[in-house]
Chains A and B, each alone.
Chain A
C-alpha cells in the first residue's frame, strides 16, 4: 500500500508538527504496519520552475525545432524544443542551465544549429511522472500556474510516498483515511479532519428516467448503492489528481474513472462507474452465480462460475463479478455522459473464495476480502458524487438508490486488568483507555479492573480481549518488557525417538566420511521410469501434486535415491573429480499416505582415483561396511543376502535384513544407470529406519578368562556357494564335533584364492577359527581332535580340504 504524505493532509493534522516521514515510518513499522520504503517523488530536482512561453518562433534553419522565449518571472530564457504540442502563452516546466532533473541529470546549454538553447522544457516523463501525460509532448500546466514557482511545490510533484506492508487483518489500512486514523492512534494529539469533498450534498431529485428495483437475494451483498450523474464531460482529470494517482501506483485514465480510483485510494471503498446506457435493463440484482455459469470479465477472459460466486446482474445479464471484477460491456467510454456510480459492500468470505479460486487479485477483491467497512459505502458515494460534479461538470443532485441486507454491528469487547497485566506485565487501565480511544475504540463502561469497549465499524479485526491487548501492546511497544524464563518444568523434555535416531544416523555416517545433504521431497514425474521400477512396485506410484510449479517438482519421492543421484550428477557436471560420499535422511511418501523415515547414501570413487599411496578406489565391500557399522552400532546384527533392485547391478546387490525383516539394500547401480550418470562404480544403499528407531539393547557376555586356540582351515569351494553358506557349514560342523566342550568364538575369512592350482569353477577360501572355553584352558590335543573332527565333518558335507 502506497501512502502519500500530501494526501494524508486531507484527513489529519499530525502532531508533533515536525514529525518526519522517516520517524513516522519507524513508528508504523514497530506498531505492525511495516514501512518497506520511502520515496521522495521529486528526487534530486533543483531549479525546475514554471515558465510562460512569451514567444515561439521557428528555428532559422532547422524545420523540426521551435525556439521558445520563456518568462520565469525573473528573466527571459531561450530554449529550443522539438515538441509540437505548445503554443505561445502556454505554461510549462522549465529546467534552465544548471537545473537538475528528478533523476539527477544536470542540464547545460546546447547549440542547436546556431541557436544557443539554455536547458530544456519538460515532459511529464522527464519529471519522473509516468502515465500522467503524453510522453512525446511537453507537459502543459493549468493556466493558474505562476511563472517562477518551483515544480516541487506544485501539483504534489514533491510528495513523499511510504510503501507500507499491510497485514491481512488490517483491511482498514488500505486507504489514506485508514492510515490517517492509524497515525491518529499512534500520535494521539493529532487532529482528524474531513476533506471538502465529503461535504453533504442536497440530493433529492428523481432520476430522469425511471430505475427499477435494486434487489439483493444473495446475502453476501451487504449493501448496494447507486448514484447518478448526468451531463458529465469526459476529460483528463486535474493535473494534481493525475499526479496523485500516479504516485499511488494507478494509471490516470479519464476523469469519471479516475474518480472511482481516487475515492478507493482515499477511503478504501472500491467503486464502479458505468455508463447508464450500456446497462441491459434499468434494474440491478445481486445473486449467487449458477453452477457452471459463464461470464466474460473485462480482462477478456471467460470465467466458469460456481454457486459460491456472486454476480451483479441487470435484466438477467451478468455485468460484474461482485467485488472482484467488472464485466466487459458496461465500461465508461469517451462519449459517456450519464454515469452510474456503484458503491456496494460484499462479504469478505465470498469475495475471498472467488478471487482465490479464479486467481483474480484486483484492487477491489483485495480490499473486500480483507473486509471493507459497510458504513463506508454511503460516504464513498458522496465523495464520488462531489468529485464528479467538480471534475466532470456533471449534474449530481439525484437521490441515490439503495438496498441492504443484514449488516452485523460491532460487539463490545471486555478488557480486564488481570489479562492485560499477564500478557504485557503492564496494567495501567486508564492509560490503556486513552490509547484505545486514539485508535477509535471507545470506552463504554466499567471500572479499573474491567472495562468494556466498542470498536468502530472500520475495525472488524477487534473482537476479543487479546485484540485490545494487542492495540495497547503495539502502542507502548514490546521492547521494554522484562525477560523471564518459565518456572517449573512441566515434564522431562524428550526429543523423541525420531530426533534421537536422526542425530545418531548423521553422526555415524559423517564420522565414516559421508557428507549430509538435503534434497527436495518432490521429484520429476518420470523418476519411476528412470529407476526402471515396474508398475507393480509400490515406489512406482508416487503421490502427485495437483498444482506443481514445474514437472520437475511434481511427484513425491518414494525413494531418496533420485535426489542423491541428481546431487552426484551435479557434482560431476560441475567438474568434481574426487570421491563422492553423500547421504540423506528424510521422509519418503507412499500412495497409502504413509510417510516413512529413510536414510540413503551413495559412494562414488570419483573420476580421478590416483593417489600417492595405493589406488584409493573403493567398492561394494566398503559401502557394505558403512551400512553394517550403522546398523550394528544401533545394536542390531544385519544379515546380507544376494538380492535385486530394478536399478541395481544384477551381480552386486545385497538385501539387508534385521530380525528377519528386509529393511533395505546395498548395491552397485546398474551399468546402464552408471552410464547415464557418466560415472563408473556408483554404489548405493537405502534403509527404512523404522526398525532402527528402537535401539536394540545389547546382551553383555563376559569374555572368557582362558586363552583361545587358533586353527586355520582352507577349503576348495564351488563359486556358486557363498561365503555365508560356507561359514554356516563350518559353524555347524564345530557344534557337531565339539558339542558343549568348547565354542567357536570367532570365524574369520582371511584369504580368497582363484587361479593357478584351483580347478575352473572353484575358489579357495581360508578361514581362521578361534576355539575357546569359558571355564578352562584348552589342551592342545583336545583342540586338535575337535579340529580334525571338523575337517572330517566338512569333508562329509562335500568340501575338499586343501
Chain B
C-alpha cells in the first residue's frame, strides 16, 4: 500500500497534535478544522482513499480512521471551549463595573407605619376568624354615644372631646359605633374587627386630633373572659413577634362591664431599664382597653343579652406602630413629610453602606 503509506495515520495524528498546540484563537482553530476535517482536509482524503484498500484491510483501517476523526473532533471542541472560556473571562474582566454606584431609576417606596400596623393586625385577626367591618367616619351621635351606653349628660363624654358638625353629627371618637352597626347588620354570633380613623378635640405631643384605632368584637353564647385573654395574647404576641408578659388592670368603659385595661411588658426594655424612654421605667405599657360587652350595648345591637354575651376591645394602632417601629412623636405620623419616613425607615439599609439613601 504505497499510496497509503504516504498518508500515514500516525503522521496525520502527529501533525494535528502539533498544529493544535500552536492555535491561540477561534479563527486559528477554524483553520485547523478545515485543514484536517474540511472537504479537502488531510483526514478526509485518507477516508476517501479507504475504498482503494483491499477488503481485508479496509475494515481495520476504517476503524482506525474513524477513531482518529472522533479524536480530532473532540480535541477541536475542547480547544474551542477553552478558548471561549478564556475570552469570556477576559470579557468579564473588561466589563467590570463599580457595583457600589447608586442604583439607576427609582428606589423603593416605603409603607406608612400605622397603615402597615393596621394591615398586619388585620391579617392576624383574620387568622383568628375576625372579619373586617366598616362604618362612616362622620357618624351619628346615636351610634357613637347613645347606643354605647353614653347618654349626652354622661361624664364619660369628658373622656372623649368631640368634633361636631353644624347638623349635629360628629366625627366618630372611637371605632366602637361599628360594633352597633355590625350587630344590627349581621346579628349573632359575630366576630369582627374595625380598623379606621377616629377623631378627638385634642392636640399635643401625645394626642393628635386624628388617630387610628381598631375595634374588635366577639359575640357568642357563654363567652368567658378567658377567651378574651387568649385572643389578646395571640394578637399581641403575633404582632410583636414574641411572647410578651402582660397584665390586666380593672378599669371603666361605659360600653363594657366588667372593663379592664391590658398592659404588656415594655417592648423596648422588658422592664430592665429604669430610665427607659418608652415605659419611663415602669416596665409596662398600656395598649388595649377592653371588657365584656355591656348588656345595654348588646341590646342596642338588637341581640338578646340573655342569650348572647361577648367581649370588645379597642386598640390604638398609632401607639402600636410607635412601639413597634420606635417612633416618639405621634404628630410626625400625619404631616405627609417624606423625609421623615425615608430617613426614618430606610436608614437601616444605609448603615453599612455608610452613605445616606436618595430616593
- A570 vs B331: C-alpha distance when bound (angstroms): 14
User: Whole-angstrom distance from the CB of A54 to the nearest CB of chain B?
Assistant: 49
Structural contact, B249 and A34, CB atoms closer than 8 A: yes
CA distance A469 to B291 in the complex (A): 12
Query: With A470-B259, A520-B210, A595-B136 given, is the CB distance from A478 to B337 under 8 Å?
Result: no
CA distance A525 to B163 in the complex (A): 15
- Is A547 in contact with chain B by the CB < 8 A criterion? yes
Q: How far is the CB of B145 from chain A (nearest CB, A)?
A: 12
B294 CB-CB contact with A under 8 Å: yes
Distance in angstroms from A469 CB to nearest chain B CB is 6
Instruction: Say yes or no for A705: interface residue by CB 8 A criterion.
Output: no
Q: Which of A391-399, A584-592, A629-637 contacts B (4 or more CB under 8 A)?
A: A584-592
Knowing A467-B257, A481-B226, A546-B164 touch, does A490 contact B189 (C-beta < 8 A)?
yes
| Contact of A612 (CB < 8 Å), options: B102, B197, B223, B339 | B102
Q: Is B324 an interface position by the 8 A CB rule?
A: no
Question: If the complex has contacts A473-B258, A485-B230, are A584 and B250 also in contact, measured as CB distance less than 8 A?
Answer: no
Determine which of B218, B231, B254 lies in contact with A169 in the assembled complex, contact meaning CB atoms within 8 Å.
B254
CB of A511 within 8 A of CB of B224, answer no
Is the pair A545, B165 in contact by a Cβ cutoff of 8 Å?
A: yes
Total of A-B residue pairs, C-beta within 8 Å: 282
Decide: A547 and B106 in contact? CB cutoff 8 A. no
A593 touches B138 (CB 8 A): yes
**Cα A470 to Cα B292 with chains together (Å):** 10
CA distance A34 to B250 in the complex (A): 9
A483 and B229 in contact (CB under 8 A), knowing A32-B249, A520-B210? Answer: yes
Known pairs A32-B250, A168-B252, A503-B119; A519 contacts B138 (CB<8 A): no
For the residues of B in contact with A, the DSSP-based class is mixed
Q: Does A352 count as interface, using CB distance less than 8 angstroms?
A: yes
Is B65 in the interface zone, CB < 8 Å from A?
no
B342 at the interface (CB under 8 A from A): yes
- CB contacts (< 8 Å) of A545 on chain B: these are 163-165, 171
Chain B residue contacts of A521, Cβ below 8 A = 137, 171, 197, 199, 210
Within 8 Å of chain A (Cβ to Cβ): is B206? no
Asked if residues A422 and B153 are in contact (CB atoms below 8 Å), the reply is no
B-chain residues with CB within 8 Å of residue A575 when the two chains form the complex: 339
- Name A369's contact: one of B111, B155, B229, B254 (CB within 8 Å): B155
Which chain B residues border A587 with CB–CB below 8 Å?
A: 137, 197
Minimum C-beta distance from A700 to chain B (A) = 29
Contact with A along B72-114 (1 / 0, CB 8 A): 0000000000000000000000000000011011111111101
For the complex, count residues of B whose C-beta is within 8 A of A.
93
Min CB gap A222→B, angstroms: 15
Instruction: State which of A29, A479, A495, A578 has its C-beta within 8 Å of the C-beta of B122.
Output: A495
CB distance A479 to B248 under 8 Å?
yes
Cβ of A445 < 8 Å from any Cβ of B? Answer: no
In the bound complex, residues from chain B placing their C-beta under 8 Å from that of A352 are 152-155
Is the beta-carbon distance between B153 and A353 smaller than 8 angstroms? yes
Listed residue (B132, B230, B338) with the most chain A CB atoms within 10 angstroms of its CB:
B338
Cβ < 8 Å to A, chain B residues 220-248 = 220, 222-227, 229-231, 233-234, 247-248
Please state if B337 and A512 are interface contacts (CB–CB under 8 Å). no
- A520/B191 in contact, CB under 8 A: no
Q: Which residues of B contact A553 (CB under 8 A)?
A: 209
Interface locus among A74-82, A229-237, A448-456, A559-567: A559-567
CB contact between B338 and one of A361, A510, A571 (< 8 Å): that residue: A571
Top 7 A-B pairs, shortest CB-CB distance: A567-B336, A352-B153, A167-B252, A470-B258, A474-B250, A513-B106, A32-B250
B interface residues (Cβ-Cβ under 8 A, vs A):
101-102, 104-112, 114-115, 119, 122, 125-134, 136-138, 151-159, 163-166, 169, 171, 189-191, 195, 197, 199, 201, 203, 209-210, 212, 218, 220, 222-227, 229-231, 233-234, 247-252, 254, 257-260, 292, 294-295, 309, 333-339, 341-342, 358-359
A-B contact pairs, 11 of them (CB 8 A): A30-B248, A353-B153, A481-B229, A485-B128, A485-B234, A495-B126, A499-B195, A521-B171, A549-B203, A578-B358, A595-B138
